[in-house]
Amino acid sequence: MKVASVLRLTAVVLLVLFIAMPQAFAFLFEPLTDNRAPAIYNQGSLLFLTLQHLRTVALATLASTVLAVALGIFVTRPSGAEFLPLSRSLVNIGQTFPPIAVLAIAVPLVGFGEKPTFIALFLYGLLPIFENTLTGLTQVSPQTLEAARGMGMNARQRLFQVELPLAFPVILAGIRLSVIISLGTATIGSTVAAKGLGEVIIAGLQSNNIAFVLQGGLVVALLAILIHDGLGLIERFAARKLGRSTDEVP
């Protein structure tokens, strides 16, 4: 077994054990506490907060993917090419405004909790998926499309049977980037009462408990590394199936 596979498996096992039985790791965090403060976050279930964090990120990424890919398809069709500048302006909104500003605007509209965090992550995740969809679709060679046309495929068949499968590794690279951005950004959702790992970090900052801050940060970091690694494996597998070099995937 390769060293990378062993490290990956070890990280997964340690992460699962920590969020399921955090008290078993208390001895590691006790040196970071003062005045007999708790070494392990005790204001909620770490497992529940992790699952809620992942849920918010997954829903926001799914919504971003649906809209960004749909826009990418639309502007690469002859009938939608003229809307490319407008589409770029729309997907850039999330990058123009900081997430905390989006939260400040969203809270009066939808209230506290998960909804404003979802909106911020949704807007922030659009750009990488949209740009990679454009790149993937425009990289499909005219010869390939001409061959598909010669086989009698209509525009819809060419899109779903030729263009999207060939563009999939590049689109997935954009989704991977969006997920990693959202995993870190979602921590600020706790400032508007959204359940997630940001709650652990904020509790540590408020009580000056470095152990809490480190716990929340480590779980988010490990999740980001493992998800990035996992999606990267899928990208490379898809690229190999298409006979492409993995260096061609952004």
Contact 167, 133 (CB under 8 A): yes
Residue-range domain boundaries for the chain: 46-248
pTM across the whole model: 0.89
Q: Name 2's Cβ contacts closer than 8 Å, sequence gap at least 6.
A: none
Distance in angstroms (rounded) separating the CA atoms of residues 237 and 105? 41
Q: Which CATH number applies to 46-248: 1.20.140.150, 3.90.550.10, 1.10.3720.10, 2.60.40.10?
A: 1.10.3720.10
Q: 22: Cβ–Cβ under 8 A, 6 or more apart, which residues?
A: 40, 41, 46, 215
SS3 content of the chain, % helix, strand, coil (to 5): 80, 0, 20
> Tokens for 29?
């965090």
pLDDT tens digits for the chain (250 residues)?
A: 577 778 888 888 999 999 999 999 999 899 988 888 898 998 889 999 999 999 999 999 999 999 999 999 999 998 888 999 988 988 888 778 888 888 888 888 888 988 999 999 999 999 999 999 999 999 988 898 889 888 888 989 999 999 999 999 999 999 999 999 999 999 999 888 889 999 999 999 998 999 999 999 999 999 999 999 888 888 888 878 776 544 444 5
CA triple 212-9-183, angle to 5 deg: 45
Q: For residue 247, give the DSSP letter.
A: G
Distance between CA atoms of residues 68 and 200, nearest Å: 32
